[in-house]
Amino acid sequence: MRRQATDEFLAACLGGDLNRMLELLAPDVTAWNDGGGKVKAALRPLHGAENVARFFAAVLAQPMEDPRLVSVDVNGRPGLLLTTAGRPDTVACVEVENGRITEIRVIRNPDKLRHLS
């Protein structure tokens, strides 16, 4: 169920389908971002489906060099990996309850992504 919700959220993000993103997010979803002060990231946790969906839609609407977004496992949980120009840019993992995403943890800190290739 986690992988299905994650993959459907990925497809909705890639397709810019805000309504589908909202359907997949729990109303009280929280998203945390870690940019390590080195890259753009939300400075505080984002709360609520509307805020989280709009944040992800806005991030993915930014121009990127050769972006690729794929499903991956992150510490045994379903997640997403965004690469730009062939380099890891963002890793996100999700928590799912009752088929809806309740938590998203995003890592953009390049020091923490260095081991990925």
Helix axes 2-15, 49-61, angle to 10 degrees: 50
Amino acid at 25: L
Burial class (CB in 10 A: 0-12, 13-18, 19+), 82: buried
pLDDT value of residue 117: 61
Length reported for the chain: 117
Interatomic CA distance for residues 97 and 2, integer angstroms: 8
pLDDT value of residue 116: 82
CA distances from residue 33 to 58, 103, 114 in whole angstroms, order as listed:
14, 11, 17
Average pLDDT along the chain, 117 residues, taken 10 residues at a time: 85 90 97 91 94 90 85 85 91 93 94 84
